[in-house]
Amino acid sequence: MQYQAVEMSVFEAILARRSVRCYTSQAVDNATVRLLLEAAVHAPTAFHDEAWAFAVIQDKSELRLLSDRAKPLFINELRRSGRSRSEHALEAFSDPAQNIFYDAGTLIVICADSMSPFAAADCWLAAENLMLAACAMGLGTCVIGSALPALNVATIKAGFGIPEKFSAIAPIVVGYPVEETKPTPRRQPYILNRIPVEQQ
Ligand SMILES: Cc1cc2nc3c(=O)[nH]c(=O)nc-3n(C[C@H](O)[C@H](O)[C@H](O)COP(=O)(O)O)c2cc1C
């Protein structure tokens, strides 16, 4: 196992996690992937359904091909949604050189069993567990939502061994970061009611 454990509390890991978009060529080994999946399956799960399943793709050329298939489908999605902020994204996704997986060597696709009513919630909770564990192990991650339209095409799903009854929910690239990633700013929590001032 090659992971470099970083001493941090859960809260420190929450603050340290970033979406990493630049990876070294170092591969993430299978033992490390299994540890990440172990963290994922300890997430809360509605009705104890554990409605998640995982497809692990560790072939850069397959990911490159998937990226090329995903870009036009995602462009269609952006056009359909008519999002005002999508002009810049449309340009980026039209660039033939753009790899939506940032040349990472590992993609973990968290898939939901569509029979379970809260399956998507289960998967996203598993996703955050996985990303925080990765961060504490010195790994970088990034959710690649732009891969979803492609990953839910029946033939593409089948090609990655994802059975028909599962939907791809959370595709996450994993790898070793080239450099530190700056934090993206967050607004202060928008609290809708009054929180009483604590007595000292
Ligand atoms: C549902 C979802 C989809 C996302 N899809 C993408 C994506 O396709 N490509 C990408 O580079 N980042 C993607 N991201 C990462 C966000 O851009 C990122 O989380 C956000 O800018 C905040 O930055 P941070 O994660 O470093 O705090 C996605 C995040 C989420 C939650």
How many whole angstroms separate alpha carbon 67 and alpha carbon 112? 21
> Following DSSP, what letter does each residue of 120-179 receive, concatenated?
HHHHHHHHHHHHHHHHHTT-EEEE-GGGHHHHTSHHHHHHTT--TTEEEEEEEEEE-BSS
The SS3 call for residue 90 is helix
The per-residue pLDDT for 85 is 66
Q: Whose CA is nearest to atom 4 of ligand 1?
A: 145
User: Does the residue 152 lie in any domain?
Assistant: yes
How many whole angstroms separate alpha carbon 151 and alpha carbon 130? 20
The per-residue pLDDT for 57 is 98
Q: 196 C-alpha to center of ligand 1: Å?
A: 34
User: Does the residue 194 lie in any domain?
Assistant: no
Report how many domains make up the chain. 1
Q: Whose CA is nearest to atom 11 of ligand 1?
A: 144
CATH number at residue 64: 3.40.109.10
In angstroms, what CA-CA distances link 65 with 20, 71, 133, 168, 194?
Answer: 21, 10, 28, 17, 51
User: Does the residue 78 lie in any domain?
Assistant: yes
Q: Look over the chain and give the mean of its residue pLDDT values, rounded to a whole number.
A: 94
Determine contact, residues 113/154, Cβ cutoff 8 Å: no
Give me the domain span that covers residue 123.
Answer: 19-175
User: Does the residue 14 lie in any domain?
Assistant: no
What residues line ligand 1, using a CB cutoff of 6 Å? 18-19, 21, 142-146, 184
Model pLDDT for residues 124-152, shown as the tens digit of each residue: 999 999 999 999 999 999 999 999 999 99
The per-residue pLDDT for 4 is 59
User: Does the residue 182 lie in any domain?
Assistant: no
- Tell how strand 140-143 and strand 106-113 pair up: unpaired
Is the pLDDT score of 2 beyond 80? no
User: Does the residue 195 lie in any domain?
Assistant: no
Is the pLDDT score of 83 beyond 80? no
Out of 15, 19, 23, 99, mutate this one to test ligand 1's pocket (max ligand atoms within 8 Å of CB): namely 19
User: Does the residue 115 lie in any domain?
Assistant: yes
User: Does the residue 1 lie in any domain?
Assistant: no
Q: Whose CA is nearest to atom 3 of ligand 1?
A: 145
Model pLDDT for residues 42-64, shown as the tens digit of each residue: 999 999 999 999 999 999 999 99
Q: 197 C-alpha to center of ligand 1: Å?
A: 35
The per-residue pLDDT for 88 is 82
